[in-house]
Amino acid sequence: MDLRALRNRVETIQNLATIPSVAKRLLEIVGKPAVSLGEISDFVSHDPALAAKVLKMVNSPVYGFPGRIASVNQAVLLLGLNVLRGLLVGVTVFDLMQKAMIGLRDHSLGCAIFSRIIARRKGLKDPEELFIFGLLHDIGKMVLVFNFPKEYAKVMDGAQTKGVTVYDVEPDFFSTTHATVGAWVTEQWSFPKPLIDVIGFHHRPHLAKVAPMETAIVHFSDIILRARGFGFAGDTCVPPLSPYAWDTLGLTEDDIKEVLKEAEDLLEEAADLSF
């Protein structure tokens, strides 16, 4: 498939085939380069269903925010623009993820949980951002499935037959991967550069320039989640961990055991979380 034609198609919001009109409007708003917290707050406050989803997520044990958030305005003030934008997109596309690929929602949420836990262990300033990065890291898969369902079914079949990841097979059909497609789309939506970097390089963290630590965290989370067997990312392969990511994180065996232990109850909560 021609790379330029593919990019032109996936960068158009309307091409997310079955996306609800409220989601299209939300993506238009959060994608404005100069969008304000006030604009986002007004939009969410006038959509009770969306407001309820946001509050349900931020108040769930899965998200792990210290203290209860009682209103959208409070969420806006406490979470900040970048986290709120990512969270809104995440909860909005949750149902679409499940329609795109059974298990992708759980995989994305599980990656978000592991990413936040590791970010806290590494002492990152905003572990909530890592939750968003993990939640959206595979958004490119959703975009490809909705735009090219027959082709992506062949990608998944090919990955299963060869015993590799869909990331390895995607270039045979699309001349690129879901990681690059996800970066294109989030760049089109004017999302923060660290998030775009993580999405674009979560399979090749050594190439990350803007957010190398964050990319290493999501890469590690993705793989440890696959090994744990929670959710479905389009294939049954557990790829090797990047040596760069391993060296960057510097986690000990005890660290990893503690991360797995802390995540276990949260994964059970995630499996039951619905919107």
- State the residue range of the domain holding 228: 3-16+92-272
**CATH number reported for the structural domain that contains residue 230 in this entry:** 1.10.3210.10
Chain centre distance of CA 159: 21
How high is the pLDDT of residue 199? 97
> CA angle at residue 101 from 98 to 104, to 5 degrees?
70
How far is 213 from 139, CA to CA, in rounded Å?
A: 20
Per-residue pLDDT tens digits for 226-257: 999 999 999 999 999 999 999 999 999 999 99
83 part of a folded domain: no
43 part of a folded domain: no
Residue 185's pLDDT band, with cuts at 50, 70 and 90, is: confident
How many residues comprise the chain? 275
245 part of a folded domain: yes
How high is the pLDDT of residue 56? 84
Per-residue pLDDT tens digits for 188-213: 877 889 999 999 999 999 999 999 99
74 part of a folded domain: no
179 part of a folded domain: yes
Residue 187 has pLDDT above 60, yes or no: yes
| 21-25, 88-92, 163-167, 239-243, range with the lowest pLDDT | 21-25
Name the more confident of 253 and 50: 253
Per-residue pLDDT tens digits for 113-131: 999 999 999 999 888 889 9
| Cα torsion angle, 47, 60, 198, 100, sign | negative
Residue 25 has pLDDT above 80, yes or no: no
237 part of a folded domain: yes
Residue 181's pLDDT band, with cuts at 50, 70 and 90, is: very high
How far is 23 from 267, CA to CA, in rounded Å?
A: 26
* Alpha-carbon dihedral angle through residues 62, 106, 72, 45, given to the nearest 10 degrees: -160
Average pLDDT, the chain: 87
How high is the pLDDT of residue 19? 56
Per-residue pLDDT tens digits for 56-80: 888 888 887 777 888 878 887 788 7
164 part of a folded domain: yes
Q: How confident is the model over 210-222, as a mean pLDDT?
A: 97
How far is 180 from 197, CA to CA, in rounded Å?
A: 10
42 part of a folded domain: no
Total domains in the fold of the chain: 1
Query: What's this model's pTM, rounded to 2 decimal places?
Result: 0.88
Chain centre distance of CA 259: 19
How far is 29 from 39, CA to CA, in rounded Å?
A: 8
Residue 23 has pLDDT above 80, yes or no: no
| Largest interatomic CA distance in the chain | 50
Secondary structure (H, E, C), the chain:
CCHHHHHHHHCCHHHCCCCCHHHHHHHHHHCCCCCCHHHHHHHHHCCHHHHHHHHHHHCCCCCCCCCCCCCHHHHHHHHCHHHHHHHHHHHHHHHHHHHHCCCHHHHHHHHHHHHHHHHHHCCCCCHHHHHHHHHHCCHHHHHHHHHCHHHHHHHHHHHHHHCCCHHHHHHHHHCCCHHHHHHHHHHHCCCCHHHHHHHHHCCCHHHCCCCHHHHHHHHHHHHHHHHHCCCCCCCCCCCCCCHHHHHHHCCCHHHHHHHHHHHHHHHHHHHHCCC
